[in-house]
Structure 1
């Protein structure tokens, strides 16, 4: 039989471990959202795959030299629109130039906060430098919101973890 003092100490230790806010490093878990289907027009989704009520769309694109660095040759100049986004703190999505097989030849994250316009119709434009502009057959958006930057378990074992957006798309990814 254990002495009463040992049992009381063990009970106190269990109570302390069970207190809210106390977490152990082995309880921290990171999850990564699955990459959504890319398209010219997408419903932006959070890390659990639920729509945010925001639509992102590639309005148009073309190959042309950037006016500030024309000596670098053609780049992809594209216009995008976010419908239903909050001007100050809206979502962000990856915009990718793709070849005819929908393989990314270059990607860049675009933020709704960088777009402007009346009545929630936020339109912006951007440039994307790609190694082989002649391969570009179109522009696609990936619907996952990339604006969330929560702490990972590696960064903060006590308060990190939880759902995170998928890794940003990069050259060579099949979309």
Structure 2
């Protein structure tokens, strides 16, 4: 028979284990957010689908040789704008050149921190996309999911990892 002292200490030991994170071995889960609807102008959303109060837009785009490597032929040169982003936030969205069927021909992530401040408070910038068949490009679309923060996974950090992660980055051949 166990002494009464053991029964009195056992609940305290369980509380200490729970608070120390040892119980997270059974509670760590990773989920992936669903990719939002791509568009020329999108409301940037977090991994829970909530608006960050930031709008990202493709202002214009063109096909032209990149000035540093003109011999490589035409690339997609596009200008983008973030409204509502500030110096403390750094939202990022995937930008994809698409064909007339909205199939991605090439993508890259654009960050508001890589843009310049405008007098109206917006942040604007430009980027280049190399695509295999530039003649097929019908437009540039943005995917609204914020890519600026991706928490640690359970696999990399069982104690502090887990949670909802941004969707997989869009890539060539993805239907947007």
Partner of 1:103: 103
Q: TM-score, normalised by structure 2?
A: 0.91
> Do the aligned residues in 2 keep the contact of 1:87 with 1:120 (CA within 8 Å)?
no
TM-score in terms of structure 1 length: 0.92
**Aligned twin of 2:94:** 94
Unaligned segments of structure 1, at least 5 residues: none
Return the offset for 1:70.
0.6
Q: Distance in 2 between matches of 1:127 and 1:63?
A: 10
Q: 1:95-146 CA distances to partner (integer Å, 9 max, x unpaired)?
A: 0000110010100000011111223211100000011111111100000000
Match of 2:82 in 1: 82
- Structure 1 vs Structure 2 CA RMSD: 1.7
- 1:24 Cα deviation after fit: 2.9
Tell me: CA distance 1:172–1:138, structure 2 relative to 1, closer, same or farther (3 Å). same
Q: Give the match's secondary structure for 1:118.
A: coil
Aligned length: 175
Distance 1:147 1:23 in 2: 29
Whether contact under 8 Å (1:63, 1:133) holds in the other structure is yes
C-alpha distance in 2 between matches for 1:82 and 1:23: 41
Q: CA separation of 1:12/1:83 partners in 2, compared to 1, >3 Å: closer, same or farther?
A: closer
Q: Tell me how far 1:93 sits from its aligned partner.
A: 0.3
